[in-house]
Amino acid sequence: MITAGDFRNGVTFELEGKVMQVIEFQHVKPGKGAAFVRTKMKNVITGAVVETSFSPTDKFENAFVERKQMEYSYNDGNLYYFMDPEDYELIPIDGSKLNDNFKFVKENMECTIYSYKGSVFNVEPPTFVDLEVTETEPGLRGDTATNVTKPAVLETGAEIKVPLFINEGDRIRIDTRVGEYLERSKS
């Protein structure tokens, strides 16, 4: 159990059956009346942010969100299979739990699986991935205008915008959080 008076940034707790994480908190002691804790918190499953106030003595159940590194193996229809590196067990995860940025993940990449009480609610791909460009218009010699982009299809099937000098077969680095080209890969 945790009381509202013990809130710190990053603390997770259960509130009315929902898993909440404290983003910001402030202990307020007004001149008149009882003290209270003003809290900004996020529902870790839906991402919704809520602001509310609690009495410092309000009690909540601790919520332990499990984070585990697992390797993406393959998908079969709407089920995506991830392998636990400790016991090599394959765990199926429904496609509805995957974010839009999962389109940058290819087989054998490690992802972070978030679960609460054994139920997976989020799959986070690596922050940066190196992928090959499989389809794009060829760059024209002398075409060096800055910040001009063209569409490119990657080996995972995802489509992003890349600079004009990128050609088919080039390996590029992508930031999966925003889905944007960063640089040519060193490898």
The domain ranges of the chain are: 2-62, 65-124, 128-184
Contacts with 114 (C-beta within 8 Å, 6 or more apart), sequence order: 44, 65, 66, 67, 120, 121, 122, 123, 124
Band of residue 187 on the pLDDT scale cut at 50, 70, 90: low
Q: What's the CATH fold of domain 2-62?
A: SH3 type barrels. (2.30.30)
In the predicted model, is pLDDT for residue 147 greater than 80?
no
Q: What's the CATH fold of domain 65-124?
A: OB fold (Dihydrolipoamide Acetyltransferase, E2P) (2.40.50)
Check if 65-124 and 128-184 are the same fold: yes
pLDDT in tens, 3-25: 888 888 888 888 888 888 888 88
Report whether 63 contacts 116 (CB < 8 A). yes
pLDDT in tens, 38-72: 999 988 877 788 999 988 899 998 888 888 999 99
In the predicted model, is pLDDT for residue 86 greater than 70?
yes
Nearest to 93 by CA among 105, 114, 79: 79
Q: Which CATH architecture has domain 128-184?
A: Beta Barrel (2.40)
> Rounded to two decimals, what is the model's pTM?
0.71
